Chains A and B, each alone.
Chain A
Amino acid sequence: MNHLSEEQIVLHYYGDADETADVERHLAACTECRAEFARVQSTLKQIEPIEVPEPPASFEEKTWLNLRDRLPGKGGFLRKLFSPQTFGPQQKWALAGAMVMLLVIAFLAGRFWPRPMQPVTQQASQVNPQRVILVAVGDHLERSQMLLVEIMNSDAKGPINFSSEQAEARDLLDSNHLYRVSAQQSGDPQVARLLDQLGRVLAEIANGPAEVSPGDLEQVRHTIQSEGLLFKVRVVGSEVNSRVRRPELSGSSVNQRL
């Protein structure tokens, strides 16, 4: 009679053997295999789960405090919108295209759409294209700020995989050009100048190598620092956001700069 293999006996102990019924039938009929199964059982029963000491009461606090400063920032609304769990890669590109189209249409509509002579109060509830662009520029600056902060805080002890930052910079670069042109056309030199500077840095990041050395990273950081770019992005971003929040921007009296 063929005996059970050691593997069959061990797996049967855990209930993981294939052909369980055959194994059980064999064990019922074969004293030798039954004795072997009893030995496996006896040995494994001696191996009790390792008793785990209870971590101290402040364990969660300590873990968080050690962790907090090591966590890089996460993006805002647009980054979330473009995250893999929200949309797949193809949907993401389609969405990006749709958003750019929407912005162009909104911009053109703002410039060329005939404005009916209606009371201000009636228009206040309508969507203002300038406001749409302002919101988009605010988000663009927020995303750019997150990217710059990530780069400034990257650990630079060895070669760094820069591919995700590059992908983000490429995304931002496309919309940056559109917003810069919009800002120039609507007479907002401050925003246009900033987007011009930002575009140069984004291009440097987007066109660099996928793996950067600490020296390369230092050079990018130096460019960001020497132009005070991060500070300017914060200031202008905050100003744009405050303009978005102003109530008069939702009405027809928007004759302000972008």
Chain B
Amino acid sequence: MEVTDAAVVAQVLAGDRDAFRVLVDRHSRSIFRVIYRMTGNQQDTEELVQETFLRAYKSLERFELRANFSTWLYRIAVNRTLDFLSARKTHMQTKDTYQIVDNPDAGDSSQIQLSATGPGPDRLVLSEEMKRKIAGALGLLTPAERVAFTMRHMEGRSIEEISQTLNLKASAAKNSVFRAVQKLRQQLEPYAGPGSPTRPVRWGGSAVK
């Protein structure tokens, strides 16, 4: 029978440092996927996976043994990534705006990589162009908006999970998701298919009560 995560944590806390490897083996791939969706860069993601586990190890005394280790680790990963994106954003403001690249091996943390697959050969050109636009639009989000949008839109996490992970009120988590979508619409709807453009903007002041 497989030893539970909580039992492994207890083993590490008792002084068996090498037991931590079991947790790395079990969770590093899922954490890689979570972080990659937010950074879009493999090299940054690999480093952040290590940082996540290091931070988890150092905070292991604060882990409640009855809690779910993967949820706890997920929170650390998201927050570590948020810190990273914030630091990168600050750095980029003094340099350039995001550069869009196709080559996932380029490795520059300032570049946003594009998803490698498209819907089909017939729509390839349009699809690739749209991916560029989407990547560019995602790059304009603030780190908090990007993380909240990724969690809600790409991972299907609930508002409650987002607010707990980012330590926000539910209203603030909703607002982050909304602001992200609002910015994405501004960037993408001019290129969207039938149905565009949007109606004249007068949203926000005349809501249904």
Contacts and interface: CB of A to CB of B under 8 A. Distances in A.
Most buried by A among B17, B42, B202, B203: B203
Contacts of B20: 67, 71
A257 to B, nearest CB: 27
A7 B203 contact: yes
A51 B207 contact: no
B112 to A, nearest CB: 10
A32 B181 contact: no
B152 to A, nearest CB: 6
B106 to A, nearest CB: 13
Interface of B is mostly: helix
A46 B159 CA distance: 22
Contacts of B199: 32, 35-36
Contacts of B172: none
B184 A47 contact: yes
B92 interface: no
Interface string B196-209: 10110111111111
A19 B40 CA distance: 36
Contacts of A16: 152, 159, 174, 177
Interface residues of B, number: 68
B124 interface: no
Contact of A50 (B115, B130, B175): B115
Interface in A14-64: 14, 16, 19, 22-23, 26, 32, 35-36, 38-40, 42-44, 46-53, 55, 59-60, 62-64
Nearest to B181: A10
Nearest to A27: B208
Contacts of A49: 37, 153-155
A55 B27 CA distance: 13
B14 A51 contact: no
Interface in B50-73: 50, 53-54, 57-58, 60-65
Contact of A7 (B57, B60, B178): B178
Given A52-B33, A60-B24, A80-B14, A71 B57 contact: yes
Given A39-B189, A146-B15, 6 more contacts: A3-B202, A46-B130, A47-B184, A60-B28, A67-B53, A74-B14
Interface of B: 10, 12-15, 17-18, 20-21, 24-25, 28-29, 32-33, 36-37, 40, 42, 46, 49-50, 53-54, 57-58, 60-65, 104, 115-117, 130, 134, 152-155, 159, 174-175, 177-178, 181-182, 184-185, 188-189, 192-193, 195-196, 198-199, 201-209
Interface of A: 2-11, 13-14, 16, 19, 22-23, 26, 32, 35-36, 38-40, 42-44, 46-53, 55, 59-60, 62-64, 66-68, 70-77, 79-80, 83-85, 146
Question: Closest 8 A-B residue pairs measured CB to CB?
Answer: A6-B203, A5-B207, A49-B154, A51-B115, A52-B36, A10-B181, A76-B15, A52-B33
7 contacts: A22-B208, A39-B196, A64-B24, A73-B15, A74-B15, A74-B60, A83-B61
